A and B are shown apart, each in its own frame.
Chain A
Amino acid sequence: MLFSFLVTLREGVEIALVITILLGYLRSTGQRRYFRAIWLGIGVAAAICLAVGTGLEVASRELDSQVVEGFEGFTMLFAVALLTAMAFWMKRQSRGISAELRAQVDQALGAGSVAALVLLAASSVGREGLETTLFLFAGSTTAGAGVGFVLGGVLGFVVAAFIGIGIYHGSSRIPLKPFFTISGVVVIVLAAGLASNGLAHLHESGLLPNLGARPWDTDALIASTSTLGQFLNTLLGYDSAPALSQIVLYWSYLIVVAAAFLFLPTAAPAARRTPQRTVSSPGRS
């Protein structure tokens, strides 16, 4: 439950931020009549995400359990890669994103095309949405997912929506930078757990025959099948008898990525300041 809440809260605020920038820009330039195009784009994005999520869920139910393990394992590792990339992207773009989106709105409207605006909203929201879908799917496979998981997810989105409304009306000044830094670290912790679980799933599918020795067994203390064990499993990747490769992957990922995320400097402003640069493609005509 906490897993899905944290995921949808973080991703929801990202989505809300994108929407507020789009709507806020149209509002400030007196083009409220295009609001509908934005909402239409958001609707399209939501529909696509729901379809993808349903597809993943159906696929994982239809397949043979051992194939599912492999499928889930790969999905988890893919989610880890995507989440890591997005956490860094969000950090780099946290200031540039607004200018970039505005420029894209101008471009869409300059072309006189409402469809382009719908597409812009759909793609910028859809990207975040698909990330959320994948993240939730990867998490739900270990969560013993039930009502709580869904409830946590919905709650996260609701809180994110309120934050979004607050940003739009300027009534609440949410410290976005600390929010994205803290939630970025949370995402990295969740992703480390997913990475370790991903390995376990690949092992269970028979794709990885041996994960190495298992130095300890804490099952008597916190059983993997207990509610607490499953809770800690989704949140921190808890495994009562982790294999050496899981331990190494978990800690090296956590330490390296968290350190890079917290201490690497953000990209130089100059690199960000060139939106809509027409990329010439040499050698292709």
Chain B
Amino acid sequence: MNRIMTALLVCVALFILLGTACSSSGGNGRQVAITQTDDGCTPQSVQAASGEKLTFKIENQGKKDHEFEGVNGTKVPEVEVPAGHTRTVDYTAPKQAGTTQQIKCYIPNGSTTLITVTVGS
């Protein structure tokens, strides 16, 4: 019976190792600064090269917490940027030139800015 408990513990330990080994904190793309205030986010449009890796550095200068997330299929993980804090998010632009993608930058029940990423050649 101890053997089973040991096996379970080993399983759990393995998972923890797997979980931490796979982690990468990122931040290795071209840095794009996003500024948030209580009135919205700037800039509203971002240019990216085909397949380019970007790292959004989002600084919330307002007094309210902001949300930052990809919409309509844009692969930007949702991140909360509390008032007065800064967050970084990685993003890889699509390969196809001319594609536009959207990121929603908003205060819940408050101002909303749609940031458009346009893929150049």
Contacts and interface: CB of A to CB of B under 8 A. Distances in A.
**Chain B interface residue number, banded:** 35 or more
A2 B15 contact: yes
Interface stretch (A29-37, A90-98, A171-179): A171-179
Interface in B36-79: 65, 67, 69, 71, 77, 79
A225 B18 CA distance: 17
Contacts of A6: 12
A123 interface: no
Interface stretch (A132-140, A200-208, A249-257): A200-208
A152 interface: yes
Contact of B20 (A209, A228, A241): A228
Nearest to A223: B25
Contact of A226 (B4, B15, B16, B23): B23
A26 interface: no
A60 B67 CA distance: 18
Contact of B77 (A144, A173, A228, A241): A144
Interface string A186-229: 00000000000000100111100100001001010011111111
A2 B15 CA distance: 6
A223 B87 contact: yes
User: Could you tell me the dominant secondary structure of chain B's interface residues?
Assistant: mixed
A5 B10 CA distance: 13
Given A163-B4, A200-B80, A206-B108, A223 B26 contact: yes
B28 interface: no
Contact of B90 (A1, A209, A225): A225
A178 B87 CA distance: 42
Interface in A128-160: 144, 152, 159
Contacts of A226: 23-26
Interface string B1-27: 100110010011001101110111111
Contacts of A224: 79-80, 87
A174 B4 contact: yes
Contacts of B77: 144, 225
A225 B108 contact: no
A231 interface: yes
A223 B27 CA distance: 10
A82 to B, nearest CB: 24
Given A1-B18, A226-B26, A241-B85, A172 B1 contact: yes
A225 B79 CA distance: 7
A193 to B, nearest CB: 14
A214 B71 CA distance: 27
Contacts of B109: 66, 206, 209
B114 interface: no
Ranked nearest first, the 10 interchain pairs of A and B with the lowest CB-CB distance are A206-B108, A228-B23, A206-B109, A227-B23, A2-B15, A226-B25, A231-B19, A225-B77, A175-B1, A241-B82
Interface of A: 1-2, 5-6, 9, 65-66, 69, 144, 152, 159, 163, 172-175, 178-179, 200, 203-206, 209, 214, 217, 219, 222-229, 231, 241, 243
Given A1-B15, A223-B26, A241-B82, 5 more contacts: A163-B4, A204-B80, A223-B25, A223-B88, A225-B77
